[in-house]
Every structure is written in C-alpha cells, then in structure tokens.
Amino acid sequence: MMSRAELLALRVPRYTSYPTAPHFHTGVGASTYEDWLRQLPARLPLSLYVHVPFCDTLCWFCGCHTKVVNTYSPVASYLELLRSELALVSAIAGNGHPVTHIHFGGGSPTLLNPRDFSDLAAHIRSSFLVERNAEFAVEIDPRGLSDEMITSLAEAGVNRVSIGVQDIDPLVQRAVNRIQPFETTRTAIEKLRAAGIANVNVDVMYGLPNQSVEHVNATIEAMLSLRPGRFAVFGYAHVPHMKRHMKLIDADTLPSTSDRIAQFDHAHRALVGAGYLPIGLDHFALPEDSMARAATSGTLSRNFQGYTTDAAPALLGIGASAIGSLPQGYVQNEPDVPRYRQLIKANKLPTARGVALTAEDKVRRQIIETLMCSLRVDLAAIASESGLAPNHFAAEIAALREFALAGFVVIDGWKLTVPDNERSAVRLVAAVFDRYLEHSTARHALAV
Ligand SMILES: C[S@@+](CC[C@H](N)C(=O)[O-])C[C@H]1O[C@@H](n2cnc3c(N)ncnc32)[C@H](O)[C@@H]1O
Ligand code: SF4
C-alpha cells in the first residue's frame, strides 16, 4: 500500500472538464462546432469567455496561454480578430440568447488600452443580449493598472475582478520574475472599489520557489487586511515539459510535497479563522459572497476558469486557445495566434479540437464535477438519474478502499465524502472515475 505522502504525490488532473483537455482531438473541429451552435435551443442562456493571450512580462511559474509583447500592435490586431469571431459565432448561434456571464481572462486583459476594452465590451453587447444583471468578470494584473483602465472597466459594466497576487515577499517574487509590491495590490483594490467594482477575488499561490509557510502566512495576512470576498489558493503546477519557461525555475528551490501540504494547511486555517468558507479544492469565500451561497445551495459549478457561480448551460470560448463547453461536448480554439488569425481571416470558426460527450462521459462528468464542487457524491442517485444500477460503479468503490484507509474518503454504501481537512485529495478520488486516465500519456501536476 502507498503511504499518504506517496498518494498525495500522484499526478492527476484538476478536472476543470471531463474528459480533460489532453483527450480533446481533431475529430471535433469547426463543422462539429457549427452544428452544435446551430442546435442550441433558442434563448438558451449563454456564458462568454474571452481570452487575451498577452502580457507585459512573463512570470516564470505561468501555466496560462500567453505571450509577452513589447509593442501594442499585435494586441490591436488581435482585437480585430476577437470582434470577427464574436460576429461569426453570434451569426451561427443566433443573437437571441441571453448572456448571463462574461469572463475576460488571459494572459492579462488589462493590457488592452482602455478605449479598446470599452469598444470590445460594447461590441459584445451589440452581438448578444447581455442580461442587465449579468456577471461581468475580468482578470486583473495590478502591475501597471491605470486609472483610465479602472474607469473603463467600471463604465463597461464590469462587476467582478480577479486579481493576481501570488506571494508578497520580494525573495519569492524575484525567483518567479514577478515584482509586485503589496502597495501595488492594495492601491489597485482600493481604486477598483472606489470605482464601484466591489466583488474582488485574489489569487495567491503556494509551492513556489523559495516559498515557506511563513511567506504564505504573511501573504494571506496582508490580503486579509483588504478583505476580498474570495481567495483562490493555487498550488504551483510545475510542468517544464509543457511550459519551457518553467525551466528558468530552479527545481531545487521548490518546496517538497510535505512542505506544500503544510503551506496549504496554513492558508486554509488562516482563511477559515478569518471567517471564509472553504470551497472545493482551492477556493475560500466570505459567507455573503455569491460563491459561498452557491456552494451552500449546491449550485456551484466548475469550468475552465475554476469554480464558478455561472449556471448557463453553454459557455462559448472566444479568442486563441479559448475552450467552450456546450451540452454536446467541448471545443478548443486554435492556440497559436498566427494560425487563429488565418482561420478568422478566412471567415472560419477557429476550432482546433474538442470532444463529443458519450452518455457514459456525461454520468462520469456529473460525478467528478459534484465531487470537485461539494466534496461529496451520491453514486446511487446519479446512477438512477441516468437509468443505471449503482453497481455500475462497483469497481470504483473497490479502487477507493485504499484512499479510504488513508483517510481521504469516507465510503458509506454508495455515498462518498472527502473530509473537509483532506480536500486536497479530492482530485485523487475524482480520478478514480476518470475512464480516460489509465490510457493517458499526459503528465499532470501533483495532487496537492
Ligand atoms: C491569467 S492569471 C491572472 C491574471 C494576471 N495575468 C495576473 O497574473 O495577475 C491566472 C492565475 O493563474 C495562476 N497560475 C498561473 N500559473 C500557474 C501555475 N503554473 N500553477 C498554478 N497556478 C497558476 C495564478 O495565480 C494567476 O493569478
Ligand atoms: S501569471 Fe498572469 S501576468 Fe504572469 S505571465 Fe501568466 S498570465 Fe501573464
């Protein structure tokens, strides 16, 4: 039997989708996506994800689809492509769909100049029926966030921001090429709030080079002084075979698995002590925040941006590398900007790959998403909704016995619960239901 540390050192996906992205294939392309869009029932609510794959400087830990640009011209020409894609997609799907949620991610959407951001937001509103109370969220790099941009965000109707912080210590910041004094973060949050954008999430990280429990504690304590509604506490996923720039990080300076566990435990304790509710794998929210309310009422979902209160049945991804999730399956746009440009210029949907969901995939996706969101699942209930006998999952229950002995899961008949203090292990429990994993050559990050 494997030890607890060995189990937590297993590499498993983070399950922002099921099947996971390495199982997307080119058999699902533009024509399938076009069919799926046409099949969406009229007035089905939609969510939009807009990807901006550019940054000013490269953080060496970065696992996102982004590129450093030194001039604005590639960004300006990319904006044209986004507008064309929005027009193409709304022409195919029909513009009668209400949009309940917009998310700008990256990269750094705040690298756009303020006028361009306003124009793009206006273009979205003219292409789709954006609901009056829609959530409009933007990922913010506080370094270089100008007053003009803050005004533009507020005027465009942005009502939620997610701010990259990671760690406030200069030693850690130097080791990842991201210099961001605490003052920069504080000023950004205060100014965003003063402009009326009250819903604030901060991203902090553990497992970074040179990082200790003391650094994590100091970062959480400093952020608590600003009382954001939500924290995302991400474990650094070191995957230099996929992201070559991560080789700039000296692997000898990375915390061990047991250090990572201690760092997350400290963050967890500090946040719970300060009144935040732990949510899923890595989020914490104040009880009055919409994410805490969604978690309590069982309406929390998980998508490519992580945990979300967005309940729209279809998410359309716009921009290079963006991933869409439709009732029929997943699609991903061409990640390479020049190839994305070629396709858009030829007036084609820029879909590079995807996966169509089988009936079996849908049941397993529901189990995995339920586990990732609420740390518990009733297999018999989900099986019966799909016309299956609970015994369908007998092999998984048998496979979970080892995790149960390690304390990672409590098995009660067909009900599974991951204990609150073992939430990092939820990925391991979810992975037992992943039919694709054993055939996978993809290498993922540590489970904690
Ligand atoms: C697109 S960035 C956020 C916005 C902006 N670009 C910034 O960094 O301030 C998304 C977040 O993903 C997290 N992240 C990036 N690379 C990661 C990695 N390799 N492992 C875990 N989390 C990562 C960071 O916390 C980062 O804030
Ligand atoms: S973490 Fe954010 S700012 Fe840093 S390189 Fe990645 S996307 Fe850009």
Q: Over 103-159, what HEC string results?
A: EEEECCHHHCCHHHHHHHHHHHHHHCEEEEEEEEEEEECCCCCCHHHHHHHHHHCCC
Q: For residue 439, what pLDDT is reported?
A: 53
Q: For residue 337, what pLDDT is reported?
A: 97
* Torsion from C-alpha of 345, 62, 367, 27, nearest 10 degrees: 30
| Residue 6, Cβ density class (10 Å: 0-12 exposed, 13-18 middle, ≥19 buried) | exposed
> Which residues pair with residue 248 across a beta bridge?
none
Q: For residue 1, what pLDDT is reported?
A: 64
Q: For residue 311, what pLDDT is reported?
A: 85
In DSSP notation, 161-210 reads EEEEEE---HHHHHHTT----HHHHHHHHHHHHHTT--EEEEEEEES-TT
Q: For residue 363, what pLDDT is reported?
A: 97
Q: For residue 448, what pLDDT is reported?
A: 72
Picking from 120, 170, 173, 112, the residue whose alpha carbon sits closest to that of residue 144 is: 112
Ligand nearest to the CA of 51: 1
Q: Give residue 369 CA to ligand 1 midpoint distance, Å.
A: 22
Q: For residue 46, what pLDDT is reported?
A: 96
Q: Say what the pTM is.
A: 0.95
Q: Give alpha helix (H) positions in 211-345.
A: 213-224, 257-273, 290-297, 337-345
Q: Give residue 59 CA to ligand 2 midpoint distance, Å.
A: 5
Q: Give residue 361 CA to ligand 1 midpoint distance, Å.
A: 29
Q: For residue 71, what pLDDT is reported?
A: 97
Pairing of strands 283-285, 277-279: antiparallel
Hey, how many other C-beta atoms are within 10 angstroms of the C-beta on 27?
10
Picking from 129, 194, 118, 127, the residue whose alpha carbon sits closest to that of residue 157 is: 118
Q: Give residue 69 CA to ligand 2 midpoint distance, Å.
A: 12
Q: For residue 438, what pLDDT is reported?
A: 72
* Ligand 2 atom closest to the CA of 166, numbered from 1: 1
Q: Would you write out the chain's pLDDT as a tens digit for each of its 448 residues?
A: 676 777 777 788 999 999 999 999 999 999 999 999 999 999 999 999 999 999 999 999 999 999 999 999 999 999 999 999 999 999 999 878 999 999 999 999 999 999 999 999 999 999 999 999 999 999 999 998 999 999 999 999 999 999 999 999 999 999 999 999 999 999 999 999 999 999 999 999 999 999 999 999 999 999 999 999 999 999 999 999 999 999 999 999 999 999 999 999 999 999 999 999 999 999 999 999 999 999 999 999 999 889 999 889 999 999 999 999 999 999 999 999 999 999 999 999 999 999 999 999 999 999 999 999 999 999 999 999 999 999 999 999 999 999 999 999 999 999 999 999 899 899 999 999 999 987 554 556 666 7
Our answer on whether the CB atom of 55 is closer than 6 Å to any ligand 2 atom is yes
Q: For residue 305, what pLDDT is reported?
A: 86
Task: List pocket residues of ligand 1, CB cut-off 6 Å.
Answer: 61-64, 105-108, 139, 141, 164, 166, 203, 205, 234, 236-237
Q: For residue 159, what pLDDT is reported?
A: 98
Q: Give residue 76 CA to ligand 2 midpoint distance, Å.
A: 19
Our answer on whether the CB atom of 108 is closer than 6 Å to any ligand 2 atom is yes
Q: For residue 442, what pLDDT is reported?
A: 55
Pairing of strands 376-378, 351-356: unpaired
Q: Report which protein residue has its CA nearest ligand 2's atom 2.
A: 107
